[in-house]
Amino acid sequence: METIKVSVIGVGFWGRNHVRVLSGLKGVVVEAVYDMNVEAAKSIAEKYGYKVADSLRGAIERSDAVAVCTPTSTHFEIALKALEMGRHVLVEKPITAKSSEALTLIKKAEEEGLLLMVGHIERYNPGFRRLYDLVGSGGLGDLMSIRAKRVSDGASRVSDIGVALDLAIHDVDLAMLLAGSPPLSVYSRAGSKVSRHEDYIYIMMELEKGVQGYIESSWLTKRKVRVMEVTGTEGVAELNYLSQEVSVKLSDKEFKLFDQWVEPLKLELENFVNSVRGVERPAATGVDGYRALKCVEMALEASRMGRPVRVEFEV
């Protein structure tokens, strides 16, 4: 097995988890960690016995691939530098702060023949995979609607983006994946109660073949909820992202879909390094990241304008 050297850029909450999971993957070496907070980088490096890079360039130079786990506002600059230096990139979602920046990264990766993946982690959730397979096999009949609720108390956790790009983007991405189509139009109502950015949003998506998507996301709820309900002509299924269990009710029976709980980040990072090796295909590409971001941008625009807007993709 080819050994892949990975540097982790940014060791906040998600970056620390990336280091932890990568440390347990076969054929992977965490070559360096880097963070502008030197003490944070030293702390996580000492815990796992890794080296701290003295600069961003140094961290990139020592690796075959980088995982970018910094604040969203820095994603574009760091990912672009890594691609320019010939390194494969996994960047946490959202891919960038603006869809125009995402297009630049996609073009650069294509020009250099490099992998650009985005950390849309719920694509790797085993519960979602069960739901996706159920819908794809026609187990619920023809798809009619997708409803998602992703709420928790998190207004103080993120400073550079709002709840739409932090939480709602997950379910926007997955609704498109389940429906097998981009939205024809989106509408939303968003607002801010305690944050500088929006801290609650309700998104309505019109997808192809009459499928409707309804997404609620908020940082204002004391109870953490992560659920998706999918309704078809023959039944309904509800996914609990946290337990990874899918409850299914058809006209003549009810049952649950569940197997062993598996950490989605482990599956994501395995997919990343195996895609670098060329033995797997990435489950969340730069194009996927761009499209999810573009949809959320249009949803926020619809909220500002007070009417539905069309969604068009450049890639």
Per-residue pLDDT tens for 112-140?
999 999 999 999 999 999 999 999 999 99
Do 228 and 270 lie in one domain? The reply is: no
- Is residue 315 assigned to a domain? no
Q: What is the dihedral of CA 54, 58, 59, 60, to 10 degrees?
A: 160
Do 300 and 162 lie in one domain? The reply is: yes
The pLDDT of residue 155 is 61
Do 157 and 256 lie in one domain? The reply is: yes
Q: What is the CATH number of the domain that holds 232?
A: 3.30.360.10
The pLDDT of residue 23 is 97
- Is residue 201 assigned to a domain? yes
The rounded distance, in Å, linking the Cα atoms of 82 and 31 is 15
- Is residue 289 assigned to a domain? no
Do 166 and 276 lie in one domain? The reply is: no
Do 275 and 237 lie in one domain? The reply is: no
Residue 264 CB contacts under 8 Å (≥ 6 apart), including other chains: 121, 122, 124, 125, 126
Question: Domain limits at 163?
Answer: 122-261+294-310
* Domains in the chain, number: 2
Convert the pLDDT of each residue in 151-186 to its tens digit. Answer: 999 766 677 899 999 999 999 999 999 999 999 999
10 phi-psi bin (left φ>0, alpha ψ -120 to 50, beta other) = left
The pLDDT of residue 188 is 98
Do 178 and 299 lie in one domain? The reply is: yes
- Is residue 228 assigned to a domain? yes
- Is residue 88 assigned to a domain? yes
Convert the pLDDT of each residue in 216-251 to its tens digit. Answer: 999 999 999 999 999 999 999 999 999 999 999 999
Q: What is the mean pLDDT of residues 90-114?
A: 98
Do 14 and 157 lie in one domain? The reply is: no
Answer positive or negative: Cα dihedral of 209, 178, 161, 152.
positive
Residue 2 has pLDDT above 90, yes or no: no
Q: What is the CATH number of the domain that holds 49?
A: 3.40.50.720
Do 49 and 155 lie in one domain? The reply is: no
The rounded distance, in Å, linking the Cα atoms of 1 and 241 is 32
Convert the pLDDT of each residue in 187-225 to its tens digit. Answer: 999 999 988 899 999 999 999 999 999 999 999 999 999
Looking only at the bridges linking them, the beta strands covering 200-206 and 212-218 are antiparallel
- Is residue 199 assigned to a domain? yes
Do 61 and 209 lie in one domain? The reply is: no
Do 153 and 177 lie in one domain? The reply is: yes
- Is residue 300 assigned to a domain? yes
Residue 251 CB contacts under 8 Å (≥ 6 apart), including other chains: 234, 235
Convert the pLDDT of each residue in 63-83 to its tens digit. Answer: 999 999 999 999 999 999 999
- Is residue 254 assigned to a domain? yes
Q: pLDDT-based confidence at 1, cuts 50/70/90? A: confident
Do 134 and 240 lie in one domain? The reply is: yes
The pLDDT of residue 64 is 98
Do 44 and 18 lie in one domain? The reply is: yes
